[in-house]
Amino acid sequence: MASMGTERASSSSSFTPCWTYDVFLSFRDEDTRNGFTDHLYFALKQKGIFTFRDDEKLERGKSISPKLLKAIEESRFAIVILSRNYAYSIWCLDELAEIIKCMKEIGITILPIFNKVDHQMYESRQELLQKLLLNTKRRTKRRCKNGELL
């Protein structure tokens, strides 16, 4: 399960967010869990970096749990592991939308990692990020009408 840590605070403004986690890992389970993501998670943990990695496998048709959304909001950094199928996952796109929202609202820092992404599939990393953001925006527009979830 997720590694728990002590709360952290930033002293730069009157709003001082408290971080429960140093890092939130966002990844496509079937692409990277039993390889890169596991190695990264355990390396971070070994260095004393409090890291949230969702160990629950979501069933198709289920939405992201409130626990997962809360973990994103309570993380100082989000490491987004962009793999071949990341952009095709509803859950990954929902996570990414929440991470971007937190970046804008509370200053979470996003660290993208490109993992085994076929360079011929995308002309550049910038193109991949643009496609991810476009898919996220489209998904959000379909799900929201007047600020309410459809």
Residues catalogued as catalytic: 95
The secondary structure of residue 120, as a DSSP letter, is T
CA atoms of 78 and 16, how far apart (whole Å):
18
CA 91-94-99 angle, 5° bins? 125
Long-range contacts of 138-142 (CB under 8 A, 24+ apart): 139/90, 139/93, 139/94, 139/97, 140/97
The answer to whether the beta carbons of residues 73 and 106 sit under 8 Å apart is yes
